[in-house]
Each structure stands twice: as structure tokens, then as C-alpha cells.
Amino acid sequence: MKLLVDTYTNTGFLHHAYALVGQREIVRDALRLFLGHTLEIDTIGNPDVLEEDYETFGIDEARMAIAFQTKSAAIHSAKKIFIFATTIITHEAQNALLKIFEEPTRDSHFFLIIPDAEILLPTLRSRLIIVQHNNAGADMSFAKTFLHSDIAERFAAIKDIIENKNRLAALALLNALETLLYARASEQKQKAEYAFIFSEIANCRAYLRGRAPSLKLILEHTALIVPRMAYE
């Protein structure tokens, strides 16, 4: 996602079609934050946003997308946003999408969330900007240090995120903490004991998607509720 954010920040240009490669929920949360915070496009309840989840994206789904993108935006001068998250996309569907990826209607932008770019045909891949969401290692390293730290150290660690109003970094930390805590809870067979923490992390993630969230309150609350644990 950093490539997408940096490119738009530096140029103000948004390409008409992207393939976002990575874990579905993490990539989608990052995309929603980019659209909401940077482009001021709310994905919830927006008639000009089509967001769908699939295990298999087939020819019927492709035809639905083609039909939707030919319609005028419901809101004057709005961008039409298509977010399709799928595990598999059939060759027939990819071939059907070729034309609208070559000649999209004005202000139409497609975001295809997939687990691996190798599922794309070369002809379709050449019409997309491929964005790898592959900074999980760095996120995990920071999260492990965060969990190992005391409260004062945690508050110091999140200072830059708060001062820079970096919602993507805040989201990455929440996701990494959830992953590490879930692994520890499963290992210790104590998922019930961690239920409150998982619920609070989910709430914090929801608050991050708001129009003007307080990163200070969200991250400081997280720092206070997650347990301290050692990592080598």
C-alpha cells in the first residue's frame, strides 16, 4: 500500500486499475483508510462504491462490474470505486474485464484484492498497477517490541504515529498485535481470556475508519489494555 499512498501523495494521480496483493482483511482496511483519509471517499453507504467479497470471481461477476461502471455517478463529479476481493478469478472473467481496464469510463477506479499476482493472466496484469502489501515483517517486529515494552516505552513508541497522524501505521500496529496475541492465546489455549482484548482491538480499528479519529486515544488505549509479553 505504501506505493499507492506515496504515488498519489507525490503526484495527485490515481490510476484506473490496481491489483493489491496480500492478506484480504489487512489490505482492505488499509485501502479503506487511504480512500477515506486521503481521497475523502467514504466506502460505507456510498452509492458510487461497489465493494464485494468472493472466493471465485467468475464471468457473471465480471458482467455485473461492467454494467455498473457504465452508469453515471450518483453524486455529481464523484469517483466510482470498485473493490473486489477474491481468492480466484477465472480466465473468462479476466478476459471480460480487459476492455473496461483498457478504456474505463471517466472517474472509474478498480481495486482488485488478491492473494497472489500469479493468478492473473499476463494480458490483464499488464493493464494493472501491482501493489504488494508485503511489510508484514516490519509491522511484526514493531509489534513484538511494543508488547515487550512497559507503558512508558509504549507511549514513546507511538509518539511519531500520533504526531504524523499516520492512520495506516496505526492500523498496521493493531493488525500485527492482533495476530501475535491470537497466536499466543491459541498456543496457551486461553482464547476466552483474550476475548476482551480482541474485541477492543476490533473497536479501535473501527474508530480508525472514522472521519476524524483520535489516534492518541486509540493507541494509548491499546497500550494500556494489551498484556506485556516477551519475544526473543
pLDDT value of residue 160? 94
Q: What is the pLDDT of residues 40-58, one digit of tens each?
A: 888 888 889 999 999 899 9
Model confidence at 7, in pLDDT bands (50, 70, 90)?
confident
Amino acid in the structure at residue 64: M
- Answer yes or no: are the C-beta atoms of 100 and 17 closer than 8 Å: no
Q: Is the pLDDT of residue 231 over 70?
A: no
Q: Is the pLDDT of residue 218 over 90?
A: yes
Q: What is the pLDDT of residues 98-145, one digit of tens each?
A: 988 887 788 889 999 998 888 899 899 888 988 887 555 556 889 999
DSSP-assigned letters across all residues of the chain: -HHHHHHHHHH----SEEEEES-HHHHHHHHHHIIIIIS----SS-TTEEEEEEEEE-HHHHHHHHHHHTSPPSSTTPPEEEEEEEEEE-HHHHHHHHHHHHSPPTTEEEEEEES-GGGS-HHHHTTSEEEE---HHHHHHHHHHHHHS-HHHHHHHTHHHHHTT-HHHHHHHHHHHHHHHHHHHHHTT-TTTTHHHHHHHHHHHHHHTSSS--HHHHHHHHHHHSPP----
pLDDT value of residue 155? 97
Q: Out of 12-21, 179-188, 200-209, give the one with best mean pLDDT.
A: 12-21
pLDDT value of residue 138? 54
Among 37, 28, 32, 46, residue whose Cα is nearest residue 9 = 37
pLDDT value of residue 134? 59
Q: What is the pLDDT of residues 25-38, one digit of tens each?
A: 888 888 988 898 88
Q: Is the pLDDT of residue 190 over 80?
A: no
pLDDT value of residue 77? 66
Q: What is the pLDDT of residues 139-189, one digit of tens each?
A: 688 999 999 999 999 999 999 999 988 887 888 888 888 888 888 887 777
Q: Give the pTM.
A: 0.66
